[in-house]
Amino acid sequence: MVLPPKDHPRYKSLLAREKLVDASDVVAKQGLIAHGRGEAFDYLLGEQTCLPALSSIKAASSAILSAKKPVISVNGNVVALAAREIARLSEVSGAKVEINLFHRTPERISGLTKMMKKVGIDSLGENADDLIPGLSSERAKCCSDGIGSADVVLVPLEDGDRCEALVNMGKKVITIDLNPLSRTSQTAHITIVDELTRCLPLLSGFVKEKKGLDNFDNKKCLSDVLNYIAERISS
């Protein structure tokens, strides 16, 4: 990995790109395109956690704290960018971690499992024995003791079709998505419009401190995010 100079004004963004490239054996090339799209939306947010996003993070904390069987679903981008942050959230919440991929291969699943193992997490996903109804892609494959039986699922950087399928299964879905207009953002029960590595430590902190927000309206929150972006652009 080629580390960018720490005095570069966009050090964190450049570091994220290097992490994805460094993990190119387990990150799908399509994931690189998705990351670039997310970066564009983060520019609009000013590369900071806005107040509406903070509210959704607190709401996510409440949902995780009240869950009986919370699961964190991760893909290649999530593991490459935030394996340690995911491990921390799993530690403080008791949530299981399951690897779920659209471009699923045994090699990618194995590689990502090893990466999570390095940060102390025995993740699910290799031995998928269940299916998510309504999906024809490889993302339908899941574990019965993970996503299959979860009541609350955190799905960062998610595809809209699987988010909708999980909602249709009766699960409470939390997502992290920098695009407030995406199908995922519009479908999830709680949408955190924020950058992955920026919001996960905040979420872990709220969960550890058992702090949250019970009265939450996702549609209003997404509208507030759009208003925030519009005000930034026009000011």
Instruction: List, for residues 34-69, the tens digit of each pLDDT value.
Output: 777 888 899 999 999 999 999 999 999 999 999 999
Q: What is the CATH number of the domain that holds 138?
A: 3.40.50.12640
* Strand partners for 72: 97, 154
Q: What is the mean pLDDT of residues 104-126?
A: 95
Q: Is residue 182 part of a domain?
A: yes
Nearest to 69 by CA among 98, 36, 102, 104: 98
Is residue 24 over pLDDT 90?
no
Q: Is residue 14 part of a domain?
A: no
Q: Is residue 62 part of a domain?
A: yes
Nearest to 193 by CA among 32, 25, 57: 57
Phi, psi at 152, each rounded to 5°: -130, 130
Q: Is residue 65 part of a domain?
A: yes
Q: What is the mean pLDDT of residues 71-98?
A: 96
Q: What is the mean pLDDT of residues 132-152?
A: 94
Q: How far is CA 3 from the centre of its chain?
A: 24
Q: Is residue 91 part of a domain?
A: yes
Indicate the pLDDT class of residue 31, thresholds 50, 70 and 90. Answer: low
- Tell whether pTM > 0.75: yes
Report how far residue 235's alpha carbon sits from residue 231's, in angstroms, rounded to the nearest whole number: 6
Q: Is residue 64 part of a domain?
A: yes
Look up the domain containing 176 and give its range: 51-234
Q: Is residue 46 part of a domain?
A: no
Please give the tally of structural domains in the chain: 1
Give percent above pLDDT 90 in the chain: 76
Q: Is residue 183 part of a domain?
A: yes
